């Protein structure tokens, strides 16, 4: 479909629903032109994960490696920001870096490959520029950080200010920025300090903390004891803030495509 045809469909009143998955800049502009039709937007994010001191560390590390680096991080709910309790910071970071370093980068058709190429060389070089900016702002590269053509290695950063591109925007790359925290509420505040709000993972064995996270996190989904990258088709999937509008998932997509009507039968008295 051409861009010209797409623009016509967005504004054509014969179409009653507009659904779009892509960048916030494009999605919100489409909504502005959509007129009176319903709009469903899934616009990505910079997903956070919280690992509390009560978490099962083995499980949290294993899942964070998958959530951060599967598909070379090119998933809108890929782990991008990791908030790790200071009591487990040293052990988590040591084992997380070791695990990421052991991942095999290569041909995605090779069954032994863990991490394939990015969509193109421009995406890889853009990620490297964002890493360079983070370093210039005081960040530390614990692993990776340099592109090799279309490949970008597993990359882990720390001491990065929240205003850096790798924190504030969607990296869509195999890149994680880690932050230590001492108070659980500070981790929640850190996740919420974002224009995005798609999903967040919370690793904890404190049920009260899990409920507090669910109550206070400004996201469309809270995944307890797994990464924000978790998604199944029959769950309501979508975000708040710049991450989008409405929900995907079979039942919820059908509801968006349905105009609710009511008929009232009154009995004459």
Q: Catalytic residue at 218?
A: no
Alpha-carbon dihedral sign for residues 184, 204, 64, 191: negative
DSSP string over the chain: --HHHHHHHHH-TT--EEEEES-HHHHHHHHHHSTTSEEEEE-----EEEE-TTS-HHHHHHHHHHHHHGGGG-STT---EEEEETTTHHHHHHHHHHHHHTSPBS-TTSTT-SB---S-HHHHHHHHHHHHHHHHTT-EEEE----BTTB---EEEES--TTSHHHHS---SSEEEEEEESSHHHHHHHHHSSSEESEEEEE-S-HHHHHHHHHH--SSEEEETS-TT---TTS-B--EETTEES-BSHHHHHHHT--------PPP-
Active-site entry in 42, 64, 167, 170: 42
Active-site entry in 4, 32, 64, 76: 76
Inter-axis angle of helices 57-69 and 89-101, to 10 degrees? 40
CA-nearest of 191, 202, 173 to 69 is: 173
Q: Catalytic residue at 167?
A: no
Catalytic residues: 42, 76
């Amino acid at each position: 479909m051409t861009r010209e045809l797409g623009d016509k469909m967005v504004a054509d009143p014969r179409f009653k629903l507009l659904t779009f998955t892509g960048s916030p800049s494009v999605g919100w502009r489409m909504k502005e032109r959509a007129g009176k039709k319903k709009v469903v937007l899934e616009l990505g994010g910079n997903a956070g994960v919280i690992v509390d001191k009560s978490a099962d560390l083995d499980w949290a590390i294993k899942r964070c490696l998958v959530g951060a680096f599967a598909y070379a991080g090119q998933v809108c709910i890929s782990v991008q920001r990791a908030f790790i309790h200071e009591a487990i910071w040293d052990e988590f970071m040591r084992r997380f870096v070791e695990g990421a370093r052991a991942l095999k980068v290569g041909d995605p058709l090779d069954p032994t490959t863990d991490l394939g190429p990015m969509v193109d060389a421009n995406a890889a070089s853009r990620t490297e520029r964002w890493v360079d900016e983070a370093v210039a702002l005081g960040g530390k590269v614990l692993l990776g950080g340099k592109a090799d053509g279309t490949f970008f290695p597993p990359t882990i950063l720390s001491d990065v200010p929240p205003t850096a591109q790798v924190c504030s925007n969607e990296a869509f790359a195999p890149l994680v920025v880690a932050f230590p925290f001492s108070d659980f509420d500070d981790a929640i505040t850190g996740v919420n300090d974002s224009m995005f709000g798609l999903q967040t993972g919370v690793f904890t064995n404190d049920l009260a903390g899990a409920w507090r996270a669910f109550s206070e996190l400004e996201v469309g989904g809270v995944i307890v004891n797994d990464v924000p990258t978790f998604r199944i088709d029959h769950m309501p999937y979508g975000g708040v803030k710049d991450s989008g509008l409405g929900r995907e998932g079979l039942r919820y997509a059908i509801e968006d495509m349905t105009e609710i009507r009511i008929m009232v039968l009154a009995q004459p008295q």
